[in-house]
A and B are shown apart, each in its own frame.
Chain A
C-alpha cells in the first residue's frame, strides 16, 4: 500500500542560520537601496516593487506552514483573499484601517484555527487536499456573500488617505515597513523556542511525543500564524490593486504562490523575497505572452524540485560550499 506521509526536507544550512557579517552588510545595503527607490523609479515600477513586497509577505506566511512545520497547507490564497476583502469591508464601514488590519489578523488566526484543528492530524497529501478545499471554500463564501463583498461583480476598495502624501509612494513604504517588520519578527521566532520546537516537530514527527512535544499543538499554531500573515498581506494587496474580484484569488494565484515558495526556497526567509522577485519579474518580462509565463513557471517548478530543492535561496549556500571546498582542497584538507 502506498504510504501517504510526507516530510519536507530542509537543508542543513537553513535550520542553523549562521549569519556572517558579509550577509548583514549586504542586507542593510539592500534595505538602504529599497528606502531610496522612489526617487529613482517611476510610478509604475514602484507599483511593481510594492507587489513584490506583498507577495514576499504572503510567501513568508506560507513558509511558516510549509517550511518550518512541514505541513502542506495550500489554503494561503484563500486567506490572502480573506484578508483583502475583510479589511476593505471593515475599513469602508468606518473602522480605521490599522484597527481593521489587526482585527483581520486575529480573525484570520481564528480561521486558521478552524482549518487547522481537524487538519493537524492529517498527513501529507490528505492535508494538502483538505487545506486546498478549505481555501477554495473561503473564496466561495466570499462570492456568495455578494451583498457584502460585491460577489462576482467586484468590490472597489476604499483607498487609504496618507495625509496628503503621494499615495503610491506612501503605500510602498507601508509595504516595506510591513515586510521588514515581519521578516525580523519571523526570524526572531524561528531562532527562538517556538521556532525550534516547530522545526523539531517537522523533523522528528514520530518521536516528538516521547520528548514531551505535542505536534498537533505546534502545527495548529503554525496554521494560525500562517493564516494571519497571509491575511495581512492580502489587506495591503487590496490597497495596491484598488479593486477586488474573486477571480484574482482562485487556484492560479495559489499555484503562483507555490512557485514563489519553491523557487525561492522552502524554509528560507530571504527565499520568500527571492521567489516573489522571480515570479513578478517573469510576469513583467513575459508580459506580452502569458502562455510563455506559464511555461517558465512550470519548468522552473520542475527544475527546482529536481535539481535545486532549496530554491534560489540555496544558491548562496551552494556557492559558499563550493568556494569553501575549493579552498580546502587547495590546502589539502579532506572534506569528510
Chain B
C-alpha cells in the first residue's frame, strides 16, 4: 500500500475509534418520571455511573390579580442553570403573593450524565436484570472436604430451585453460579474475586472456607457485594457480611458448659495454630471465668491438615485431662477420638459443628465406635428433627433431590440461610439497590420455623452476627443417631 494511503487509513480508523469510545459520554440520560425521585436515579446503560442533580430555579413574576396560590406554572420554565431543551422535572413550586406581584418560584431539576466517584450511593445494581438475579458461591465441592462441600452446594441449589419453580422473586428468576475451590485457599480467593468482578453477582450465598474467606474481605468491603451466611468465618464487622450462625467460639463455650455440667474440672484444648485455634483459646478464656472450679491443664497444637495427633493426645493424658474441646478439622477430631479409645482413656470430647460434623456423618464415619458420647455444636437444627416445620420442608425437597449429600446437615444449613435471603429479597420489591437491601436486612427478623434459631441482624459493629445461641448434640454410636442435649441458647455467662 502506498504511504499516503496508509496514513489515510490510519487517520480514519483512529477517528472511528475515538468516536466510538467517546460516544457514551455525549449520550443523554433517559428519564422515566414516575420511577425517579429526587435523590436517586438508576441508570439503564451499564458502564457509566449515575447522574447527580442539577438544580435550577425559575422565577416568574405574575401580576398578582391574576394568580391564585398553588397555580401550576407551565412546564417550560427555564432558568440559568437548567439546560434548554432538556426534559425537566418540576420539584417544587412556591408562590409568594405580594401586593403588586406574585412570585412563583419553581424548582426544576435536570439530570445529566457525569462520572461519579465509586462510593456514590446510586451505583447501578450489578447482577440484576429485568428477568434475573445473579447469585454466586464458592465451595469445596471436590477435594478433602467434598462431603461437606456437596452438602453446602445442595442446600443452596434446593433453595434456588424452589424459588424458581414458583416463578422467581417478583418476576425475576435466580441465576445460580457455583464455583468449586477444592478447599484450596488461593483458589477460594480467586473464585471470590471472579464472582465479584467477572461474574458480577448480586450476592454471594454461603461461601465456605473459614481460613480462606478473610482474604476476600477487603474486596467485599470495597465492592459492597452482600455475603450472606458464609460457612463459617469469624465476623469481620464489615457492611456486606452477614454471619447467620453462632460462631465457633460460641459453640465451644457451650461445649465447655456441657463439660462443667458433667463434673469435669480438668480441661484440655487441642487446636490448630491459626484462626480456629484462636477461637478455641478465646472460648476457654471466657468460660473458665464462669466455671471457677475448672482448670485448663493442657493446650496442644496440631498442624493444619496433619494426621499426627498422637503427641497431643499423650500430652493431655499426661496432664490429667478429664475433658477436652477441639478447634481443628473433622479428620483430626476423628483421629483423636480413636486414639483416646485406643488408649483406654476416659476423656470426653466436644467440638463445633464444622469439626464434629454434628448431625451428619463426615466425622463419625471416620471415628466409628470411638465417636460414641462425642458432643458437637450445632448452628442449625438436626436434619433428622422432623417435628420442626422448617426441617420438614427442607427434608421433603431434599429427599426428592438427586444431588449428592442433599440430605446432610450442611445442606439443611445452607438451604435455611438461602431461603431467608430470598424471603428478604421478596420484600424489597422491584428496586433491588444494595442500599435498600442493607437497610432492609438490618431490620429483618427471619423466622426459620425451627430449622435454625431465628435471625435478627442489625447495624454495625455488632449487628452482622445475626444469630445468637448455639445448640449441642450428642452422638450415639450404637444407634448411629444424634440427639440434642442442649437446646439453642447462649453459653453461660452471657
Contacts and interface: CB of A to CB of B under 8 A. Distances in A.
A299 B320 CA distance: 52
B136 to A, nearest CB: 13
Contacts of B190: 287
Contact of B214 (A47, A156, A289, A290): A156
A156 B221 CA distance: 13
Contacts of B198: 42-45
Given A156-B218, A243-B218, A248-B186, A290 B142 contact: yes
Nearest to B180: A288
A54 B219 CA distance: 20
A287 B211 contact: no
A63 B190 CA distance: 27
Looking at B180, B197, B216, the one whose CB has the most chain A CB atoms below 10 A away is: B197
Nearest to A143: B273
Contact of B273 (A45, A151, A241): A151
B179 interface: yes
A184 to B, nearest CB: 29
B215 A243 contact: yes
B194 interface: yes
A241 B186 contact: yes
Given A153-B275, A245-B215, A43 B182 contact: no
A241 B189 CA distance: 8
Interface in A138-166: 143, 146, 151-154, 156, 159
Interface in A110-148: 143, 146
B304 interface: yes
A153 B277 CA distance: 9
Nearest to A284: B190
Contacts of B182: 290-291
Nearest to A168: B197
B283 to A, nearest CB: 16
B215 A154 contact: yes
B278 A153 contact: yes
A247 B185 contact: yes
A324 interface: no
Nearest to B234: A153
B186 A159 contact: no
B24 interface: no
A242 interface: yes
B184 interface: yes
A44 B182 CA distance: 20
A153 B274 CA distance: 4
A242 B214 CA distance: 10
A47 B197 contact: yes
A171 to B, nearest CB: 13
Contact of A248 (B142, B185, B214, B275): B185
Interface string B245-283: 000000000000000000000000000111101100000
B187 interface: yes
Contact of B142 (A45, A247, A291): A291
Contact of B274 (A151, A156, A248): A151
B185 A47 contact: no
B273 A154 contact: no
Interface string A40-78: 001111010000000000000000000000000000000
B392 interface: no
A241 B198 CA distance: 16
A153 B216 CA distance: 14
B186 A290 contact: no
A143 B194 CA distance: 29
Contact of A152 (B143, B184, B274): B274
B202 to A, nearest CB: 17
Interface in B159-185: 179-180, 182, 184-185
B39 to A, nearest CB: 26
Contact of A290 (B184, B273, B278, B304): B184
A290 B180 contact: yes
B197 A43 contact: yes
Looking at A47, A152, A154, A291, the one whose CB has the most chain B CB atoms below 10 A away is: A152
B193 interface: yes
Contact of A44 (B194, B212, B214): B194
Nearest to A159: B218
Contacts of B212: 245
Interface string A82-104: 00000000000000000000000
A300 B215 CA distance: 31
Contacts of A159: 218
A146 B198 CA distance: 34
Nearest to B182: A290
Interface string A280-302: 00000001111100000000000
8 contacts: A47-B193, A152-B273, A153-B274, A153-B275, A154-B274, A156-B215, A159-B218, A241-B186
Interface of A: 42-45, 47, 143, 146, 151-154, 156, 159, 241-243, 245, 247-248, 287-291
State the 9 A-B residue pairs at the shortest beta-carbon distance, nearest first.
A152-B274, A243-B215, A44-B198, A43-B197, A290-B182, A44-B197, A153-B274, A152-B273, A153-B275
Given A153-B275, A290-B184, 18 more contacts: A42-B197, A42-B198, A44-B194, A47-B197, A151-B274, A152-B272, A152-B304, A156-B214, A156-B215, A156-B217, A243-B215, A247-B185, A247-B211, A248-B186, A288-B180, A289-B180, A290-B143, A290-B187
